[in-house]
């Protein structure tokens, strides 16, 4: 089947959806997703989304992001993300996203390597709250069509320019989708790992396709392992125990019930300490205790974690749970500039599949939803401007 659209977006997580919402509504947009629209990592995000609370927090937020990233971050991108954060939160609230509130306004939580609480959250299902609201807004747009169970298999390259994609649909077979602009928003690489918190269908397809076409890639070895996922012998996706549980006071114990690490250090350091401890103890996991957190707080802030652990046989309000590190996030990816343009003309990449350098060598907790949204909006603005330039060019020709 051959199709023509103006913009094609590969992926329906936060990055793809926010792009669609910010693109001009007089442009025809086709979105495809390999699975159904609810099966994206964006729906799984638990802990929350960072925001610059006030001007006084700028230096400390910038430093926390750089330090977690081992100072390998692109400073310009970090600055853009932090400076845009309040506008993005305003957009989300405008789309109906509800964040936890206190008497003075928003309530903030804290995660590892943040020097102060600056994370907005919705129980422990922040990703579901944000993504489902964005998805319902996109579904209202008359200019957007979403095709589920449709997998991009290649891009169409013509004279060094991206002219669309090739895809395989479960219902319609092979498809050639031509477009003025292509946006890759196809998420991470967790599906290529045995133990990962990601959906198994997220296998870095856009990255492999880009490699084949000589598109610039960056930091392919920068993979984040999350220190705490619930230990299980069952096959499949690992269940995340959000870092905000440690931010609220949970501690890690070795097999003798002794603490062995500062739980709020950056993820890579806590992960290394857990691996070393498991080796010393000859175990496949360490223990996480929520004894220091009030039972009410556990139930109200982490209802999803409570429920899931109960299903696995653990009551987190009464007992320790076994946890183990697992693949979680990909800092590297398709190199993009600060407008999310790749090294190939007419081809953009946003979200986890892209690398705009915000995260450096290691992502600071709760920066990825924000980074995805900020740079998706910039991609949309750039495309809008490029259409404007085309019109100007035609007028003066
Ligand atoms: C368990 C978990 C908890 C997390 N918690 C947080 C948190 O608290 N805060 C935070 O900031 N970040 C968190 N993250 C990270 C964050 O959720 C992701 O980085 C972010 O949602 C990525 O969004 P995305 O739009 O780039 O990709 P995704 O949401 O993963 O979407 C990818 C989309 O691409 C589609 N796709 C993939 N390949 C193809 C293909 N070949 N053809 C067509 N479609 C394709 C998929 O079907 C999907 O629709 C968490 C991640 C996980 C897994």
> How far apart are the CA of 43 and the centre of ligand 1, in A?
8
Share of the chain above pLDDT 70, in %: 98
Q: Using N-to-C axis directions, what is the helix angle for 368-396 and 75-94, rounded to 10°?
A: 90
Give nearest CA residue, ligand 1 atom 13.
45
- Quick one: tokens of 65? 């992001």
What's the confidence (pLDDT) of residue 397? 61
Q: What is the distance between the alpha carbons of residues 378 and 374, in angstroms, rounded to a whole number?
A: 6
Instruction: List Cβ neighbours of 395 (8 Å cut-off, separation of 6 or more).
Output: none
> How far apart are the CA of 233 and the centre of ligand 1, in A?
24
Given a contact cutoff of 8 angstroms between Cβ atoms, the answer to whether 47 and 126 are in contact is yes
Give nearest CA residue, ligand 1 atom 53.
198
Q: Can you name the residues that pair with 330 across neighbouring β-strands?
A: 223
> How far apart are the CA of 278 and the centre of ligand 1, in A?
29
What's the confidence (pLDDT) of residue 234? 85
User: Nearest Cα to 285, choosing from 273, 298, 275, 297?
Assistant: 275
Share of the chain above pLDDT 90, in %: 91
pLDDT band, very low/low/confident/very high, at 266 (cuts 50, 70, 90): confident
Q: Is 56 exposed, middle or buried (0-12, 13-18, 19+ CB in 10 A)?
A: exposed
Q: Can you name the residues that pair with 167 across neighbouring β-strands?
A: 152, 175
> How far apart are the CA of 127 and the centre of ligand 1, in A?
9
Above 80 in pLDDT, residue 375? yes
> How far apart are the CA of 395 and the centre of ligand 1, in A?
41
Give the atom of ligand 1 at the shortest distance from the alpha carbon of 48. Answer: 8
How is 85-125 classified by DSSP, letter by letter?
A: HHHHHHHHHHTT----EETTEE--B--TT-SS--EE-STT-
Q: How many CB atoms lie within 10 A of CB 63?
A: 13
Q: What is the distance between the alpha carbons of residues 47 and 111, in angstroms, rounded to a whole number?
A: 8
Q: How long a stretch of residues is the chain?
A: 397
What's the confidence (pLDDT) of residue 268? 87
* Residue 133 falls in the annotated catalytic set: no
Give nearest CA residue, ligand 1 atom 9.
366
- In this structure, what is the dihedral angle of CA atoms 272, 274, 278, 279, given to the nearest 10 degrees? 20
Q: Which residues line ligand 1 (CB under 6 A)?
A: 10-16, 32-35, 40-42, 44-49, 126-127, 151-152, 185-188, 197-198, 201-202, 205, 240, 329, 351-353, 366-369, 372
Q: What is the distance between the alpha carbons of residues 26 and 317, in angstroms, rounded to a whole number?
A: 52
Instruction: List Cβ neighbours of 25 (8 Å cut-off, separation of 6 or more).
Output: 141, 142, 143
Angle, CA of 320, 321 and 324, to the nearest 5°: 135
Q: Estimate to the nearest angstrom the gap between the alpha carbon of 221 and the chain centroid.
A: 18
Catalytic position from the list 267, 299, 307, 378: 267
Residue 142 DSSP one-character state: T
What's the confidence (pLDDT) of residue 396? 63
State the pTM of this model. 0.94
> How far apart are the CA of 264 and the centre of ligand 1, in A?
24
pLDDT band, very low/low/confident/very high, at 194 (cuts 50, 70, 90): confident
- Quick one: tokens of 94? 């405008």
Q: What is the distance between the alpha carbons of residues 164 and 2, in angstroms, rounded to a whole number?
A: 11
The alpha-helical segments, DSSP class H, found in the chain are: 14-22, 41-44, 58-68, 75-94, 126-140, 205-212, 243-247, 267-281, 295-301, 303-311, 368-396
Buried b (16+ CB within 10 A) or exposed e, 94-109: ebebebbeeeeebebb
Helix-then-strand count for the chain, H and E: 11, 20
Give the atom of ligand 1 at the shortest distance from the alpha carbon of 17. Answer: 25
pLDDT band, very low/low/confident/very high, at 25 (cuts 50, 70, 90): very high
Q: What's the whole-number mean pLDDT along residues 274-298?
A: 96
Q: What value does the mean pLDDT of the chain take?
A: 95
Ligand 1 pocket test target in 21, 45, 50, 247 with most atoms within 8 Å of CB: 45
Q: Is 8 exposed, middle or buried (0-12, 13-18, 19+ CB in 10 A)?
A: buried
Q: Read off the pLDDT of residues 168-182 as tens digits, 9 standing for 90 and up.
A: 999 999 999 999 999
> How far apart are the CA of 104 and the centre of ligand 1, in A?
32
Give the atom of ligand 1 at the shortest distance from the alpha carbon of 152. Answer: 42
Task: Label residue 218 left, alpha or beta by phi (over 0 means left) and psi (-120 to 50 means alpha).
Answer: beta
State whether residue 146 is helix, strand or coil: strand
pLDDT band, very low/low/confident/very high, at 101 (cuts 50, 70, 90): very high
Above 80 in pLDDT, residue 394? no
Above 90 in pLDDT, residue 159? yes
Q: What is the distance between the alpha carbons of residues 162 and 165, in angstroms, rounded to a whole number?
A: 8
Above 80 in pLDDT, residue 391? no
User: Nearest Cα to 228, choosing from 276, 270, 284, 280?
Assistant: 270
Q: Which residue has the higher pLDDT, 33 or 235?
A: 33
Ligand 1 pocket test target in 65, 109, 127 with most atoms within 8 Å of CB: 127
Give the atom of ligand 1 at the shortest distance from the alpha carbon of 368. Answer: 11
User: Beta strand 161-169 with 150-158: parallel, antiparallel or unpaired?
Assistant: antiparallel
């Amino acid at each position: 089947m051959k199709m023509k659209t103006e913009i094609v977006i590969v992926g329906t997580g936060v990055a793809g959806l926010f792009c669609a919402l910010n693109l001009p509504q007089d442009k025809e947009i086709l979105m495809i997703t390999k699975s159904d629209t609810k099966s994206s990592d964006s729906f799984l995000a638990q802990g929350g989304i960072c925001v610059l609370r006030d001007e006084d927090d700028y230096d400390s937020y910038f430093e926390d992001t750089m330090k977690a990233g081992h100072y390998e971050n692109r400073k310009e991108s970090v600055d853009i993300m932090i400076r845009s954060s309040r506008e993005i939160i305003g957009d989300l609230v405008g789309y109906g996203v509800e964040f936890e509130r206190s008497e003075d306004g928003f309530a903030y939580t804290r995660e590892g390597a943040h020097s102060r609480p600056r994370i907005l959250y919705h129980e422990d299902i922040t990703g579901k709250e944000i993504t489902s609201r964005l998805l319902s807004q996109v579904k209202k747009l008359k200019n957007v069509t979403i095709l589920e169970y449709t997998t991009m298999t290649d891009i169409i390259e013509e004279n060094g320019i991206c002219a669309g994609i090739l895809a395989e649909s479960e219902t319609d077979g092979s498809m050639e989708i031509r477009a003025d602009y292509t946006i890759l928003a196809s998420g991470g690489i967790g599906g290529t790992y045995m133990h990962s918190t990601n959906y198994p269908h997220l296998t870095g397809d856009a990255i492999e396709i880009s490699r084949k076409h000589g598109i610039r890639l960056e930091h392919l070895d920068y993979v984040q392992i999350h220190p705490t996922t619930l230990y299980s012998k069952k096959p499949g996706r690992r269940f995340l125990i959000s870092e905000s549980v440690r931010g609220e006071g949970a501690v890690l114990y070795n097999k003798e019930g002794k603490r062995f690490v500062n739980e709020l250090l950056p993820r890579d350091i806590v992960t290394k300490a857990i691996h070393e401890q498991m080796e010393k103890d000859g175990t496949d996991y360490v223990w996480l205790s929520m004894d220091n957190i009030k039972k009410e707080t556990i139930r109200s802030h982490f209802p999803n974690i409570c429920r899931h652990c109960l299903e696995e046989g653990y009551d987190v309000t009464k007992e320790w749970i076994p946890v183990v590190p697992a693949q979680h996030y990909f800092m590297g990816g398709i190199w993009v500039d600060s407008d999310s343009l790749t090294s190939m003309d007419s081809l953009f990449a946003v979200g986890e599949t892209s690398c705009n350098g915000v995260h450096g060598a290691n992502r600071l907790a709760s920066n990825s939803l924000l980074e995805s949204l900020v740079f998706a909006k910039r991609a949309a603005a750039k495309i809008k401007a490029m259409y404007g330039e085309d019109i100007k060019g035609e007028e003066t020709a």
